[in-house]
Amino acid sequence: MTNQIIPGPCAPGRCPPPTEIVCIKTEKVYDFCFQVERRNNVCFSLPESCLPEMCVPNDAHHKVWCKIKEVNCEEISREPLSSGGGFFNVTFLITVKVWFKICKHKWFRGDFEEDGDEKEYDGGDYEEMEGEWKEREGLKHKCCKFWRTFSFTKTVTLCSPEGTETQCEIPSYSCGPCVLTQDHKVCCTFILCILVQAKAEVKLLVPAYGFCVPAECVEVSPEFPECPPENLFPPQCLPPVAGTKNE
């Protein structure tokens, strides 16, 4: 099989000509776009259990952590463009579930990622206030922890003719900074990376080189233990140095 064609790049003008045209079943992407969405001053009311301890805004003894735990994005409507051509204004509903932790204390060590005290989201609002002031390394602290959810819509223009379906993904996101306000709210900035595509399963004609043939696997040799080991036998006793023998 010296002339076997294998996947990989080839030099410009050096790719061999296809040997056939085949019909394959695949997923075709009709349109694909991204957008960085920044949502400033998204505010949430503090739960009653957090008051009045957490109601002093921008106190030097307060610190707010937030973490996005889940993001959903789904199409809710579409309207065809007057120019036609299979283009639509597609509207998506984006829902963000956020975990908050607000602490009042005089020490700030570690970060939210290492806290490990988020509760599993069960579809409802989770609220907890540590009931008593606790001593830690001689300093008192008190924390309020709760879930919140917010939603917004995003409309984009896509080539999405009848028979296609849309897919919306948010692969990366960030939360913060956050501040406490006079009216007992926590307000944060959220940044989301939104990827949207229109796709459909189709049968497509493509030039081909025949079926793929597997190459021989590269075997990884195991690491063998030292054989024989360096210390195969107990060490030999050495004769005592003159004048040091116990008498």
For the chain, what are the domain ranges? 24-207
pLDDT at 201 over 90: yes
At 14-61, the pLDDT tens digits run 899 999 999 999 999 999 999 999 999 999 998 887 776 655 555 556
Helix (H) or strand (E) holding 33: strand 20-45
Give the residue from 74, 67, 99, 44 showing the smallest Cα distance to 153.
74
User: Given phi > 0 = left and psi -120 to 50 = alpha, else beta, which region is 166?
Assistant: beta
pLDDT over 50 at 109, yes or no? no
Ramachandran bin of 116, using left for φ above 0, alpha for ψ from -120 to 50, beta for the remaining angles? left
Give the pLDDT of residue 56. Answer: 55
Which tokens sit at 17? 């000509």
Q: What is residue 54's predicted lDDT score, i.e. its pLDDT?
A: 56
Nearest CA among 103, 101, 108 for reference residue 126: 101
Q: Identify the band that residue 233 occupies on the pLDDT scale cut at 50, 70 and 90.
A: confident
| Token code pair at residue 55 | 């109601």
Provide the pairing of β-strand 62-80 with 87-105: antiparallel
Torsion, CA 55, CA 57, CA 60, CA 64, rounded to 10: 80
Q: Which of 182, 206, 170, 176 is nearest to 67 (CA)?
A: 176
CB-based burial label for 180 (10 Å; 0-12, 13-18, 19+): buried
Residue 85 in this model has a pLDDT that exceeds 80: yes
Q: What are the angstrom distances between the C-alpha of 179 and each of 40, 46, 55? A: 12, 12, 11
Rounded to two decimals, the pTM is 0.72
Considering only residues 91 and 123, tell me which one the structure prediction assigns the higher pLDDT: 91
**CA–CA dist 166, 76 (Å, integer):** 11
In this prediction, residue 145 carries a pLDDT of 87
Residues in the chain: 247
More confident residue, 61 or 179: 179
pLDDT confidence bin for 86, thresholds 50/70/90 = very high
Q: What is the pLDDT of residue 134?
A: 47
